[in-house]
């Protein structure tokens, strides 16, 4: 472990991100930086003894975060990007073409695809000179084109599929300068969080994971990754999901 090694959780206000921070802070292996939009969600995390950083995820604020990490000579060991939405103010996951609305599609793509890529773009200089950065971005199995036999959820599915493609580009770029970097697009299973809450009725209780259980499975999968210069698209069992 280098003196400035650090774990970073972006979207730390998410139920999965928070559970991960709780887990990692209990282990106490190294400093953790938790990044979220709201002071309220960070105030819940602060008592865990982690560093917090409020950020609106704009290019300007992410650039400021990147400069701060550069100045600290931060060596990122684990970077997890949790941000994602399935529905929002005035829109629900679409079941049919006649429900597609451009403004809703834009919002879902903004948070599920553009935001994580903005984080990677702005933090790239730090990632590129970190010793062995393992990067995990919360994707979803429904982002798999090959696995899509049901249809529906147009924007959510497509935003995660686009995310996966951009992560593939990123790993190809990254491995030229830092062969020890690894990127994973991850499906956590169905987890009991605000995101899945409206859709849990059809999920068998044994298939609905608590955030703590999801964090444990995530940790097992992340720590099993070899730095092979590839993008892995994995589920909570560590099994590969078809593109
Ligand atoms: N729960 C599941 O069953 C499930 C299944 C498959 C995949 N996933 C994926 O897992 C990830 C975490 O989800 P979760 O279930 O833990 O959800 P959650 O508790 O509802 O958390 C939502 C996350 O999205 C971010 N977010 C929401 N609105 C945003 C906005 N307007 N601008 C920027 N960020 C915004 C939040 O950022 P802040 O922390 O900054 O507030 C937070 O990180 C998501 O990417 C989701 O797609 C979840």
Q: What is the pLDDT of residues 177-219, one digit of tens each?
A: 999 999 999 999 999 999 999 999 999 999 999 999 999 999 9
**Paired residues of 9 in beta bridges:** 34, 80
Go through the domains of the chain in sequence order and give each one's CATH number: 5-235 (3.40.50.720)
| CA 138 / ligand 1 centre spacing (Å) | 8
Longest dimension (CA), the chain: 55
Give nearest CA residue, ligand 1 atom 21.
Answer: 14
pLDDT at 17: 98
Residue from 159, 128, 122, 133 nearest 80 by CA: 133
pLDDT at 119: 98
Confidence of residue 96 (pLDDT cuts 50, 70, 90): very high
Under a CB-based contact definition with an 8 Å cutoff, are residues 9 and 25 in contact? no
Residues in the ligand 1 pocket, defined by CB under 6 Å: 11-17, 36-38, 41, 57, 82-85, 111, 115, 138, 140, 187-188, 190-191, 193-196
pLDDT at 229: 86
pLDDT at 227: 87
Confidence of residue 225 (pLDDT cuts 50, 70, 90): very high
pTM of the model: 0.98
| CA 86 / ligand 1 centre spacing (Å) | 8
9 φ, ψ to 5°?
-120, 115
d(CA 219, CA 130): 20
| Residue 142 CA, closest ligand 1 atom number | 6
């Amino acid at each position: 472990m280098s003196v400035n090694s650090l774990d970073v959780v972006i979207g730390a206000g998410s139920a999965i991100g928070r559970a991960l921070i709780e887990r990692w802070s209990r282990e106490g292996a190294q400093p953790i930086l938790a990044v979220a939009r709201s002071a309220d969600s960070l105030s819940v995390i602060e008592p865990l003894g982690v560093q917090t950083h409020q950020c609106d995820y704009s290019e300007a604020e992410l650039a400021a975060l990147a400069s701060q990490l550069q100045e600290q000579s931060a060596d990122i060991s684990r970077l997890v990007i949790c941000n994602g939405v399935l529905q929002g103010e005035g829109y629900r996951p679409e079941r049919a073409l006649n429900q597609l609305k451009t403004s809703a599609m834009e919002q879902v793509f903004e948070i599920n695809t553009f935001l994580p890529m903005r984080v990677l773009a702005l933090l790239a200089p730090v990632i590129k000179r970190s010793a062995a950065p393992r990067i995990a971005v919360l994707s979803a199995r429904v982002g798999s084109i090959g696995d899509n036999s049901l249809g529906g959820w147009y924007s959510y599915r497509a935003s995660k599929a686009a995310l996966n493609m951009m992560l593939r580009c990123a790993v190809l770029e990254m491995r030229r300068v830092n062969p020890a970097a690894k990127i994973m697009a991850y499906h956590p299973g169905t987890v009991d969080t605000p995101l899945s809450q409206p859709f849990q009725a059809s999920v068998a209780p044994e298939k609905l994971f608590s955030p703590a259980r999801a964090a444990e499975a995530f940790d097992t999968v992340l720590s099993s990754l070899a730095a092979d210069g590839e993008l892995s698209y994995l589920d909570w069992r560590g099994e590969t999901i078809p593109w």
